Structures are given as C-alpha cells and as structure tokens.
Amino acid sequence: MITFDTRLLAALTVLAVVVMIVSKVRISDVKVLFWFSFVFMILNTFLIFVFSPEHGVTVYGTRHEICHLVWKVYLVKEQLFYLLNIVLKYTSTIPVVILFVSTTDPSEFASSLNRIGVSYKIAYSVSLALRYIPDIQREYHDISIAQQARGLEMASRKQSFLKRLKNAASMLFPLIISSMNRIEVIANAMELRGFGKDKKRTWYSARPFRAADIFSVVVCVLMLAASIVLGIINGGRYFNPFV
C-alpha cells in the first residue's frame, strides 16, 4: 500500500471499520492494541509537524497560509491536509492489522503460508512467534512487577528519558534469558517428534480453499488495482486538491 490518495484512504477506513464490526471481535480484547497504536499515531503526527511544519508545501507544491504560530512556524493548509492523510493512513490500516492478529489461527496461517510455497520451517517459526505473544506479555508483566517492587519506576515523570530507557532495558534482560530457555525447550520438543526430517510435511489444521477465500482475493486485487490506477490519474502518490 503506497497510496496517499485521500479518497481511497477514507473509503478503506470505512471498510476497515465495517469489517471490524462484522468480525465480532470484542473491543475489550483488543483495547490495549488500539490505545497503543492511537498514541503512536498522535506522536507520529505531532513529530512530523514539529520537525517539518511545511512538509505539505513540498508535497503539494502550493502554500496557503492560515496564521502565524510562533517563531518561524506558520499554520499552512497543505500541512494540515498532509497530516490528515497520515491519520487516515493509520485509521485504514490499524483495524485491519489488529483484526489479522486477533482472528488468525497461527496454525492455519502457517499451513497456508506453506501451501503458497513458503518453507514450512519459516511458516512454523511465524506461527510460534504469533503464539508466544500472549505468553511473553504475561511474563513481561510479572517481571516488571517484580522490578517495580524493588523500586524501579517505569512510567514516572520524575525521571529523565535516558533513565527510563535504562530501566526498561533492565527488564528486558530477564525477559530475554527466560525466552532463550523457552526456545531451547520447544526446539527440543519439536525435534524429538521429528520436526525437520523431511523437506515437506502435512498439516493437521490444513483448510481447503473455499468460495469466500476466492472472493477475498478478488477484493484485495481490486483494491490494489484501484491504488495503482489512482496513482496514474493523480500523477503521483498524493491526491492534490490545491491545483
């Protein structure tokens, strides 16, 4: 997805929200992920504005000033429009990514990856990685609590950014050590049951290709085509309302 066409992004955002509702994923299950991406989005937009307040002008080639803010910084229409595109880019992708993570059965995903030609060892690594996310989250929680009990403050505003970074790193140390142990155990368990002896394997969770699958593939191809066509019409990645 390379497009920054505002109309397409807006349409995709609507689609993403609709799909999210249809999927019946409980909001409470994915709340944390949503918050995390939301904060990240705000931070990203804000930083773009701070570091390059007139980036929109370079993108769209015109300059419509609204007012003067401070020092050399002006509020410019093109910049606001550009930032709107950034936000739309987030809103059109985040729900879909969250949906993918929360509805995909890692095993089915691995077997499907393998079917389209990805080596099963890689497919299985992906599946294991997805599977261990909740375990590692739980472990991180335990570790961070134990460290807090010893006076390590994670989210305190009293500390400098560097200090906080250092504190976070000291939590990663135990997390990495215990993850390494976990990897050793699972690798042994897999090898003991014959993982990796042949070039191919079969899948217990293999699913046949259905009409719904063909339908989704077609929809995806159409969306990709739309973004390419719009790119040609706009003569670039951006839709420009200023000319």
DSSP code for 196: T
Read off φ and ψ for residue 157, nearest 5 degrees: -80, -10
Work out how close the CB of 24 gets to other proteins at its nearest, in angstroms, rounded to a whole number: 19
Sign of the alpha-carbon dihedral angle for 200, 205, 210, 213: negative
Question: Residue 194 has which token pair?
Answer: 């014959």
**Is position 203 an interface residue for other proteins (rule: CB under 8 A)?**
yes
If binding is defined by CB under 8 A, does position 177 make contact with other proteins? yes
Spatial CB neighbours of 64, under 8 Å, sequence gap ≥ 6? 76, 77, 78, 242
Interface pick for other proteins out of 131, 136, 230, 242 (rule CB under 8 A): 131
Burial state string for 157-166 with b = 16 or more CB within 10 A and e = fewer than 16: eeeeeeebee
206 or 219: CB nearest other proteins: 206
* Binding string, residues 80-119; x marks residues near other proteins by CB under 8 A: -------------------------xxx------------
Q: How far is the CB of 165 from other proteins (least distance, A)?
A: 14
- Grouping H, G, I as helix, E, B as strand and the rest as coil, residue 143 is helix
**According to CB under 8 A, which one of 102, 125, 205, 216 is a site residue for other proteins?**
205
Residues 152-171 that bind other proteins (CB under 8 A): 152-153, 170-171
Q: How far is the CB of 152 from other proteins (least distance, A)?
A: 6
